[in-house]
Structure 1
């Protein structure tokens, strides 16, 4: 069986945009990438149920950036529109199927945006929030707020990670895409919130701190939309002193295991989830390359695909559903400047 997935990339060297690959679950191998959508550094991707692809994109020459909409029912994908504004490209994009909205987080501009999905799949701006306020103590935070993640909570609010301000904010979203602030969680100084995942079985979420190489367990109260700190753990060994940045975070469908990628230590950290939602480290495994920004579990949950940006390669693991641990089965699969992994199934 072939499980197809998309890879978002930087386009600083040889990459031209979004590529499609497949995981052959019979031979346990990855296929070579095929270009399916040309874009400028489409580092994160989202796919709607209507088979519309939304990508980070930009036009450097014009000083514009934002999100682009493509129709994936054709190959190559058909460009529907660019939802750009003055400034840099965005960092994250997500689809809200219930409200037919797309959310965009812009790291350099410190903005959160919502777009209404039009009948043809193209995007129309609905609302913009610009984060303002005190930033964290580290050099990476000195130049202002940095919105790095915008996606839905289990109760269809929007949760936003701001790496610059060490904050996680929760918003209500109206049907027309307008935002209203519900709560703000303040992480410890220098934590650098990057991405977050929710446990499907518990009122708990797990927050990856890029700058601290930490993962925090947070309790989520749906009644009030607030987050409360439970515990914080390292994603790297205590004796690792070279640079590292925690990146992507994923959780298994059964809510039993959490995975985090480390750029620098170049590994995937595997955590087991206890009955109360707290974590214990079970494995550190090499990504067989440099700077793994992203990875994903396949739909069957039997495999994990990781991609290494600096070494232009993908790595395939089998996954033990009982222990959560990973086993290397293929490495050095050539992919140009890979960043994001998104299974299409």
Structure 2
């Protein structure tokens, strides 16, 4: 009897251990990589070592160049940057994530009211997706269900304007964000040299009426081409990366009036640079002490120290992105790593961040993948 009982207990223990091994989630965070192509690929990132392990293609998408995670749900969103030539509308797709395998199941696909949907912002309090349409020169707001499914476009704002550069013949909405107060939607427009400031209603998920002559809109110097924006987490400051001049602008923000005021404009080009200027991405460290900008002209990441009083920047480092044409980069949740998508060298490189100095170093880790232009740290 004792032997039989021990045998049964042993068998039960072995079965439980085996089941635990099978159910155990693979180590590392899921990372999704958008590309200039027709697939989303996945990998796992180990934040202890800084290593990336490839999973492979997990979804089809005509041109997935920007992704977001829905907080509290195993759901991610990617744009579909179709129709930049005006022949079609871009869109937004929602995917449910299999956290064990990284596989994606498309649960929603909506058109965004304009061509070339290029950038997304998810406003969690109102469960609203804001989509910037580069080709269409417009901003769409899209309701999001509790399960991550997408509704039809709730509001669509079409901008006007142009600039002196050959790429500025019409408006090109390239970035969008909601300010920390939740009252304003800001759109960086590469084509018209503007950061449009629009009232945002979290009850309806819609933006207010657009008046191109409103003094609330920030007018950038002609030919700069505002591309992407990043808010400081500790002070009312917005940083804007200007694509056509490779400048980074420090803008003080008045949330009551909805007004931006220029504090500083700083070139990220090296002294004596003679190539085609091109900045692509900007991000702020979690403590607000450092600002990082990707310079595609010389394939570098430029590190800046932040003045604690004004938010103004001082350049402290320029380091190779580990490849050619850094289209995008992201900072991981630990604040220890920067992952750079180097499109023209088909590689995502991992750079280590010194949390004290903010400076970067090459970790020696990378992942080969075709034409990467976006890296989404899913948190899953």
2:121 aligned to which of 94, 108, 111:
94
Q: Is 1:38 the equivalent of 2:94?
A: no
Q: Is 1:28 the equivalent of 2:61?
A: no
The alpha carbon displacement at 1:21 in A equals 1.7
Q: Could you report, residue by residue, the CA deviation over 1:17-55 in whole angstroms, capped at 9, with x for unpaired residues?
A: 222222223333221242222211110011102222221
Alignment of 1:71-220 (within 5 A): 71-73=96-98, 75-84=102-111, 88-124=115-151, 125-133=153-161, 135-142=162-169, 144-156=170-182, 157-174=184-201, 175-180=203-208, 181=210, 183-220=216-253
The alpha carbon displacement at 1:230 in A equals 0.7
Residue matched to 2:319: 285
| 8 Å contact kept, 1:113–1:128 | yes
Q: For 1:176 and 1:307, how far apart are their aligned partners in 2? A: 36
Which structure has the greater CA radius of gyration? Answer: 2
| 8 Å contact kept, 1:56–1:89 | no
2:75 aligned to which of 52, 66, 90:
52
Point out the structure with the larger helix share.
Answer: 2
The alpha carbon displacement at 1:89 in A equals 3.2
Structure 2: state its 5+ residue gaps: 1-26
Q: Could you report, residue by residue, the CA deviation over 1:115-161 in whole angstroms, capped at 9, with x for unpaired residues?
A: 0113442222100000013x11111112x000001112111121110
Tell me the TM-score normalized by structure 1. Answer: 0.93
Structure 1: state its 5+ residue gaps: none
- SS of aligned partner of 2:64: coil
Point out the structure with the larger strand share.
Answer: 1
Tell me the TM-score normalized by structure 2. Answer: 0.85
| 8 Å contact kept, 2:113–2:156 | no
- SS of aligned partner of 1:223: coil
Report how many aligned residue pairs link the two structures: 339
Residue matched to 1:4: 30
Q: For 2:284 and 2:112, how far apart are their aligned partners in 1? A: 33
| 8 Å contact kept, 1:58–1:84 | no
Q: For 1:86 and 1:196, how far apart are their aligned partners in 2? A: 22
The alpha carbon displacement at 1:59 in A equals 6.2
Residue matched to 2:10: none
2:328 aligned to which of 294, 304, 329:
294
Q: Is 1:307 the equivalent of 2:333?
A: no
Q: For 2:116 and 2:35, how far apart are their aligned partners in 1? A: 13
Q: For 1:59 and 1:247, how far apart are their aligned partners in 2? A: 20
1:265 aligned to which of 284, 287, 298:
298
Q: Could you report, residue by residue, the CA deviation over 1:280-316 in whole angstroms, capped at 9, with x for unpaired residues?
A: 0000000121111111111110111111111110111
